[in-house]
Structure 1
Amino acid sequence: MMRQGGRGGRRGRGGRGGRGRGGQNYRQRRDNSEGEDSRPQQSPDEMLGSKFLELDNKNLQVEIKENHRGKFLKVSEVAEAGAQPGRNRVTLGIASASEFLTQLDTFATYAQSEEATEEGNEEKAFKSSTMVKDAKRYYFDFKENQRGRYLRITQTTMGGRKQIALPHTGIVQLHEAVDELVKKFVSDADGAPESQLPTTREVRMQPKRFYFDVGNNNRGVYLRVTETINNYQRPSSVVTIPHGAWREVRDVLIDFCDQLPYQAEEEGDTETTA
């Protein structure tokens, strides 16, 4: 009787305990795995073309890829040809490639100007520019450090910040590589829908900034309103409004403005930019 009780006790601890904790965890893991398997799998990025750039003190990998969202450009810092891209990289939709090339051309011209070759400008930003597309912002900064003059490209998104840097002598090479890949793998239809959309608008009301980005996906045209605090940090809130609801939202805002007039200077300094 004692042996039966002991075995029963062990079964009680292991059996009921297992069903209470281990069994529950097993069922949860099984449910999770079944849920993951049941979800449609997104196809991996397809490589369309790439070029390896060996610059003075930096190697870059320029790639054009395609996934379920469309074609996009990716520029990564790499250790050597064929190596996996490092964490320093920027990506942009193919519809933004034309503006990206324009920015590179502007900085390539500036790099050869007298202002950019002045002595005694160490640790100083010579020239800066900003490119805004959808929820992404790109900052181009021509700077100098102990290694020499360079261009830093920083991308900020809802997920954080990424950047690459290249010597000023490599700006032309990057421009040529991007231009060659775009001409070879991108048709007019790839960039047409995005290029026809309204440009991004920005409303500043310290310490907040509101960005109004019009985009397009497989569900149609939409407006994304992004609120950021303290100068381009991670968004604190994002709302997406489908195109079909724009007029109703506009009417609501107009109605609110009519019911509650206000003076902008009383609420805080505001500024709207395109």
Structure 2
Amino acid sequence: MLRAPLPAPTVLHGQPALMGDQELFSEVLKVQNKIFYLDLKQNGRGKYVKIAEKGKYRPKSSVVVPLSGLHSFIQLFDLYMRTDGPDPQSRDVVVESKVFNFSCGENDRGRYLRIFESGGGYPAGGSSLMVPAGWGNANIRAFRESFEKIANWLNQTGLPSIEMSSGLALTSKPDSVTLDVSKEGGPVLSVGSKHFFFDARMNDRGRYLKIKEVSGNMKTLLVVPAHAVAKFQEAISLAMLVQPRPDQELMGNGVQGGPPGGQV
């Protein structure tokens, strides 16, 4: 059923702040009954874009995107902006130690684009934004244009522009496998909607390998002492040589065998 056209999103302001401030550039988008703040900021770890949502029907929330992920955000907003038919598959973007999941949905107020951030500084769960698509995806288009303004402002002011490749992985198939290197220097293994971050660390008890799995709003942490890593690798190799056993939990729920496509 066709809906009446909704008002176009309004840009309330788009002026750069003083260069001495941590906030470098700011835009405010008024989208239906919500206000979104898009702020380019910097701190000791570098530049990032903070996107905050303030609306009537849900508490204020925000996601923080390292500047190296801005190019992929522009690409994905391009994808969802051109989608007028069936909802596209959800997509994941890995940026440094964070995972951003993009997915479409619909409620009584219309179609929307959901962006869920996990990993990074979230010990569990994460934070999400709900962007109303608008008539002809006008709201998604406004966000895409705001990201472009941030990139153009960086270029015009002579500051380092966005990095076109930054250890991030775009996954479009559930069973796709990619291996990248995060900005921190550790490998990131992406298997469909699961992402594994490998990070060598040290504390007063010695060196260890931290393996963090991020999948949607779930996070699992595994710590392997450095002197046991070789045996850990050997144990994995031996386990894969053994004939796999049926998962009793899955069979008990009426599902035969393990997950399709070799996923875990």
- Shorter-chain TM-score: which interval? 0.5 to 0.7
Letter in 2 for 1:198: V
1:198 aligns with 2:192: no
Q: What is the rounded CA distance, in whole Å, between the counterparts of 1:195 and 1:257 in structure 2?
A: 26
Q: Deviations over 1:72-106 (max 9, x none)?
A: 111111369xxxxx631111111111111111110
Query: Compared with structure 1, are the counterparts of its residues 96 and 145 closer, same or farther at alpha carbon in structure 2 (3 Å cutoff)?
Result: same
Q: Distance in 2 between matches of 1:260 and 1:184?
A: 53
Instruction: Give 2:197's aligned amino acid.
Output: F
Q: Identify the residue that residue 77 of structure 2 maps to in structure 1.
A: 104
In the alignment, what sits opposite 1:91? 64
Q: Post-superposition shift, 1:155?
A: 1.2
Q: Which residue identity does 1:265 align to in structure 2? A: P
Please give the residue correspondences for 1:159-170 in structure 2 after superposition, counting only pairs within 5 Å: 159=123, 160-168=125-133, 169-170=138-139
Count of aligned positions: 196
Amino acid at match of 1:235: K
From 258, 262, 267, the equivalent of 2:241 is 262
1:198 deviates by 2.8
Structure 1: gaps (5+ residues): 1-44, 81-85, 117-124, 216-222
- By how many angstroms is 1:153 displaced? 1.2
1: CA distance, partners of 2:111 / 2:23: 32
Question: Which position in structure 1 is the counterpart of 2:250?
Answer: none
Within a 5 Å distance, the mapping from 1:45-60 to structure 2 comes to 46-60=22-36
Asked if residue 144 in structure 1 is aligned to residue 106 in structure 2, the reply is: yes
Residue by residue over 1:95-125, the C-alpha shift from the partner in whole angstroms, topping out at 9 and shown as x without a partner, is: 1111111111100011xx3x15xxxxxxxx6
* Aligned counterparts of 1:100 and 1:53: Cα–Cα separation in 2: 17
**Do residues 175 (structure 1) and 144 (structure 2) align?**
yes
Cα distance, 1:260 vs structure 2: 6.9
1:185 Cα deviation from its structure 2 partner: 2.6
**Could you tell me which amino acid in structure 1 is paired with residue 241 of structure 2?**
Y
1:112-160, Cα deviation, whole Å (9 max, x unpaired):
x3x15xxxxxxxx664222223332212122221111111111123333
Partner of residue 196, structure 2: 211
Residue type of the partner of 2:116? Answer: T
Q: CA RMSD in A?
A: 3.9
* Cα distance in 1 between the residues matched to 2:195 and 2:246: 15
Query: What are the ranges of 5 or more consecutive residues in structure 2 without an aligned counterpart?
Result: 1-20, 169-179, 183-187, 201-208, 248-257
Give distance in 2, aligned partners of 1:109 and 1:214.
Answer: 38
Contact 1:134 1:214 in 2 (8 A): no
Say if 1:193 and 1:172 are closer, same or farther in 2 by CA, change over 3 A: closer
Larger % of helix: which? 1
Give 1:63 shift: 0.7
Larger Rg: 1
Give the TM-score taking structure 2 as reference length.
Answer: 0.59
Report the counterpart of residue 34 of structure 1 in structure 2. Answer: none
Structural mapping, 1:215-230, within 5 Å: 225-227=211-213
C-alpha distance 255-77 of structure 1, shift in aligned 2 (>3 A): closer
CA contact (8 A) 1:201 1:211 kept: yes
Query: TM-score by structure 1 length?
Result: 0.57
Larger strand percent: 2
Q: How many Å separate the matches in 2 of 1:62 and 1:76? A: 7
Q: 1:52 to 1:263 in 2, by over 3 A?
A: same
